[in-house]
Structures are given as structure tokens and as C-alpha cells.
Structure 1
Amino acid sequence: MRQDPDVDEVAEALLSGVGVLVRRVRQLPVQDRLTMPERSVLSRLDRDGPASSAELARAAQITAQSMGATVAGLVGQGLVERRRDPGDGRRVIVSVTTAGLALLDAKRHTRGQQLAHVLTEQFTEREIRQLAAAAPLLERLGRSIPTTP
């Protein structure tokens, strides 16, 4: 007789497994000049679109001053730009530049290649198919988690 999986155990196993994966991927060597906070801001702007510095600070759970320094560094490198909000001229919106997108694409490609190498070397074709089937579910799970209380 087959027993349904315990949802709490599945949730804990997913958190553990995905946590290990994310930490290890972040440790992979990537040839860029960015700090972790700068990479995080670029990725968030790419994923979620333009935002104010205050919104970025809240999302990263850091002070506005720290985010201001991070954004200033990215502006100085030509990876993001600041523009007045067309709907509210008092507000400044930060967005990724073409150079920032190119840097993100290169980083993702490098990390993708590094993961592909591990998959090829250490996983069977069957396991790779299982991971391929699970990938959209993991993304859907991630997008389904509310980020505000």
C-alpha cells in the first residue's frame, strides 16, 4: 500500500535541498567585479523591473543608506541607471542598463555551464529527466510563496 508523502516533510526536504543548491551556486567562481549585494540588486531589477532605491532596500532588508551606496556603485559601473519616475517626478527609479543585462546573462551562462558539467559527470540520464520535470514545479513553488505578511 502506497502512503502519500507527508507535506511537512516534503517542505523541509525542499528547503534543505534548495538551500544547499543556492548556497553552492552562489559560491561558484564567476569572472565579474560585482559584490554580492550588487549582484542581488541587478538580479532583482532584471526579474521584477525598475524600482526605487527604498523599494530595493526593503526587499533586501537593509538600510536605505546601504542600498544607496550599492546603487551608486552600480551606476558608476554603468550597470544601472537612475531616472525620474514619470508618474511622480519627486521619485527616482533605478533600472538595469544594457551593459547590466549583458553582465547578468554572462554570469547566468557561466553558472549554467558549471551546473551542466556537474549534471553530466555525476547524474544519470534518468535523474536529469527527473530534475528537468521538477524544475518548473520548483519555480512555480517559489513564485507562489507570498513575500509580504
Structure 2
Amino acid sequence: MTEDLDAGRAAEALISSLRLLVRRVRQVQVDGELTLPETSALSRLDRGGPATSSTLAKQEQISPQSMGATLGRLEARGLVERRSDPDDGRRVVLSVTASGLEMLRNRRNARTQRLADALATRFTRAELEQLMAAEPLIERLAQSL
């Protein structure tokens, strides 16, 4: 590697910038917005498939009571549904409904649009090209961690 580049300083700068970017992107509001715990539970069900409330609580590192309240709010809004576990009829598994998937999609689309608007209005074509050129490097860095 190049001796005159300081990998430590580069790492600190990237972490600082990426934290700010992620924080700002997460702050994008969407109609009918979900709370952070609701978004997290819904996203986990979307990515991981049906799960029990206790499994989700463990994954999110929160109490089963808190997860139960979160899932209750999501169920009341029609974003998750409860079903008997096909392997053990005594257990209940939760899964994302079509409305829940649409809510997640709307949230992701709103975030993407907000970022695109900022890029289109505050960056030059040359700066956009620099950002696009850096994307594969950032992805490779992420894959190497």
C-alpha cells in the first residue's frame, strides 16, 4: 500500500461521514411513519421470514414485552399477521403482510428519493462521477470487514 496515505485517518473520516449520512437518511419521514422499533421488527421479518415474538426480541436485544407491544401495534395497523407455527401449533409466528411490505418499500423509496434530490441539487456532474467511482471501493471495503 502507499506509505504516504494514513489508513487510520481514512478509516476515521469514512466512519464519521458514513455515520452522518446513515443518520440523516434514517431521519427521512414517510406518511404513516413507523417508529424505529417497528421499522426494525418489520424489516427483520421481511429479511428473515416468519418468526416468533421471542425470537425477534432476542435478535433485537430487547425484552419480550417490548417486542410484544411493538408487534401488537404493527398487527393493529395490518402490517404483520399471526399464524400458528406449522411445526408446533402451540406457537405463533408472525409474518409481514402485503401492506407491511408496501410500507417498507415506501420508506426505502422516500429515502432514495431524498438522497437523489440532494445529489441532483447540490453536487456537480464531476462530483457525482467521483461518488460513482468510489462506490465499488466502498462496497469492496464493506465486503472485506
TM-score w.r.t. the length of structure 1 is 0.79
5+ unaligned residues in a row in structure 2: which ranges?
none
1:84 and 1:7 map into 2 onto residues whose CA distance is 52
Cα distance, 1:25 vs structure 2: 1.4
Cα distance, 1:75 vs structure 2: 0.8
1:88 and 1:137 map into 2 onto residues whose CA distance is 46
Are 1:70 and 2:74 an aligned pair? Answer: no
Q: Partner letter of residue 103 of structure 1?
A: M
Count of residues in correspondence between the two structures: 145
**1:3-42 aligned within 5 A:** 3=3, 5-42=5-42
Check whether the contact 2:30–2:106 (CA below 8 A) recurs between aligned residues: no
1:70–1:142 distance in 2 versus 1, CA, 3 Å: farther
2:64 and 2:30 map into 1 onto residues whose CA distance is 28
**1:1-149 aligned within 5 A:** 2-3=2-3, 5-135=5-135, 138=138
Q: Partner letter of residue 87 of structure 2?
A: G
1:140–1:70 distance in 2 versus 1, CA, 3 Å: farther
TM-score w.r.t. the length of structure 2 is 0.81
Structure whose alpha-carbon radius of gyration is higher: 2
1:53–1:126 distance in 2 versus 1, CA, 3 Å: farther
Q: CA RMSD in A?
A: 2.7
Q: Which has the higher contact order (CA 8 A, sep 6+)?
A: 2
Kindly provide the CA deviation profile for residues 67-96 of structure 1, in whole angstroms up to 9, marking residues without a partner as x.
000001101111011222223333322211
1:35–1:131 distance in 2 versus 1, CA, 3 Å: same
1:143 and 1:69 map into 2 onto residues whose CA distance is 35
Q: Partner letter of residue 14 of structure 2?
A: L
Identity %: 55
